[in-house]
């Protein structure tokens, strides 16, 4: 695909999301929305008033600035209101998909958010996780350079130092971008840095490019004058909300509450883009205009939360990259097995059905 210049236009179709009515609703109204339909309990084992008993007394779930819906769910306490006093909810922050995968693999989190590519990589390497909801279809990765750089595209990176976070969408974005230019990862000097450290390395001059992640990437544009030198929305995978297989099997009632909360958050976010951007700005510590760009132009929240064919199609395209990367011990066979078993759509289907029936 031909490299595209940075653009202020969103690549995603939207159903009038920027209408004045949608933008006018203030964040202060969040509490009104949060109480509606809270506590859906398809398993019949608990209730939003805390009077029932759930299958677990604890839930540990992540929030991340690359997952705007997690910020809404956390801020509005949608899960806490649904579970009542019967379950202690602990929130942990993920700095990147690799960190979210570490939380899931170690048992430090029951539910955590990653990019689709990172989830597939983790499952292919034996982590027992499955995707239970889709939170976005973003353009959250791009190749970033300093404003005075002579790099005009991936082909110019041969032999140069590039910052990227292994096991994340930006890393696999870099791999695909290099391949588009006839290069491999071994043709550049990859510096394995967490996303925020990658930006610092770029601005400090120790790398010539950074495979960035929003909202850090958006802040780099505004604050440092950095440039998104190569963008390709097709090289970004979906936002996956993942749970461990043990949690899915043993605590389906609470997993359903989590997915229901995400669908409530999606509805609110789409109707309150300004409020969502304000929340992102607050949590990420970025300027409001940066957060607005990330939410309105590079985060597509208006997608079905039900994981299925659309996501597996994207992962099928990335599968050869994973298999050839050397990052999966079992190679192509392990990737194929992970792809065929990573989706668990039951909770999202139930949430969609409930929304459709007005429950």
Does the pLDDT at position 41 exceed 60?
no
Position 359 scores a pLDDT of 53
Contacts of 222 (CB under 8 A, 6+ apart): 287, 289, 290
pLDDT tier, 358 (very low <50, low <70, confident <90, very high otherwise): low
Position 19 scores a pLDDT of 31
CA–CA dist 63, 73 (Å, integer): 9
Residue 162, CB-side half-sphere exposure with 13 Å CA sphere: 35
Please give the model's pTM, rounded to 2 decimal places.
Answer: 0.80
**Terminal-residue alpha carbon distance, the chain:** 44
Does the pLDDT at position 29 exceed 90?
no
| CA 21 to chain CA mean position, Å | 27
Position 16 scores a pLDDT of 31
Contacts of 160 (CB under 8 A, 6+ apart): 151, 188, 189, 207, 208, 209
Query: What does the pLDDT look like over 198-233, one tens digit per residue?
Result: 999 999 999 999 999 999 999 999 999 999 999 998
Position 327 scores a pLDDT of 86
pLDDT tier, 195 (very low <50, low <70, confident <90, very high otherwise): very high
Range name among 31-40, 57-66, 148-157 with the lowest pLDDT average: 31-40
Which alpha helices (DSSP H) does the chain contain, by range?
20-24, 30-34, 68-75, 78-83, 97-106, 116-124, 169-180, 195-204, 216-224, 245-250, 252-271, 273-284, 288-297, 309-324, 331-341, 346-356
Position 209 scores a pLDDT of 98
Query: What does the pLDDT look like over 236-282, one tens digit per residue?
Result: 999 999 999 999 999 999 999 999 999 999 999 999 999 999 999 99
pLDDT tier, 318 (very low <50, low <70, confident <90, very high otherwise): confident
Average confidence score pLDDT of the chain: 87
For range 162-178, the mean pLDDT = 93
Position 33 scores a pLDDT of 31
Q: Are 222 and 314 in contact (CB under 8 A)?
A: no
pLDDT tier, 324 (very low <50, low <70, confident <90, very high otherwise): confident
Cβ–Cβ contacts within 10 Å for residue 82, how many? 28
For tokens 């389906």, the residue is: 252
Q: Are 278 and 75 in contact (CB under 8 A)?
A: no
**Strand 161-164 to strand 189-192: parallel, antiparallel, or no bridges (unpaired)?**
parallel
More confident residue, 43 or 123: 123
Does the pLDDT at position 291 exceed 80?
yes
């Amino acid at each position: 695909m031909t490299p595209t210049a940075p653009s202020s236009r969103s690549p995603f179709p939207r159903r009038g999301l920027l209408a004045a009515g949608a933008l006018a609703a203030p964040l202060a109204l969040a509490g009104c929305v949060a109480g509606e339909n809270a506590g859906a309990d398809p398993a019949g084992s608990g209730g939003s008033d805390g009077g029932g008993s759930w299958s677990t007394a604890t839930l540990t779930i992540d929030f991340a600035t690359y997952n705007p819906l997690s910020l809404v769910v956390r801020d509005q306490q949608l899960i806490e209101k649904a579970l009542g006093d019967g379950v202690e909810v602990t929130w942990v922050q993920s700095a990147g998909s690799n960190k979210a995968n570490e939380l899931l693999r170690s048992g430090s989190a029951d539910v955590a958010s990653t990019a689709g590519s990172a989830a597939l990589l983790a499952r292919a390497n034996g982590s027992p996780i499955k995707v239970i909801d889709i939170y976005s279809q973003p353009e959250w990765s791009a190749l970033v350079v300093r404003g005075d750089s002579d790099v005009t595209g991936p082909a110019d990176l041969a032999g140069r130092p590039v910052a990227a976070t292994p096991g994340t969408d930006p890393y696999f974005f870099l791999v695909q971008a290099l391949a588009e230019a006839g290069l491999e990862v071994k043709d550049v000097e990859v510096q394995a840095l967490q996303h925020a450290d990658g930006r610092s390395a770029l601005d400090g001059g120790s790398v010539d490019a950074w495979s960035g992640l929003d909202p850090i990437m958006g802040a780099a544009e505004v604050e440092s004058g950095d440039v998104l030198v190569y963008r390709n929305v097709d090289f970004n995978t979906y936002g996956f909300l993942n749970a461990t297989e043990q949690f899915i099997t043993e605590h389906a009632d609470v997993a359903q509450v989590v997915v229901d909360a995400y669908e409530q958050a999606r509805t609110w976010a789409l109707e309150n883009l300004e409020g969502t951007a304000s929340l992102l700005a607050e949590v990420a510590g970025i300027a409001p205009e940066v957060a607005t760009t990330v939410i309105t132009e590079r985060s597509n929240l208006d997608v079905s939360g039900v994981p299925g064919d659309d996501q597996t199609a994207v992962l099928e395209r990335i599968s050869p990259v994973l298999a050839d990367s050397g990052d999966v011990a079992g190679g192509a066979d392990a990737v194929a097995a992970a792809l065929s078993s990573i989706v668990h759509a039951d909770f999202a289907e139930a949430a969609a059905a409930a929304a459709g029936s007005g429950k």
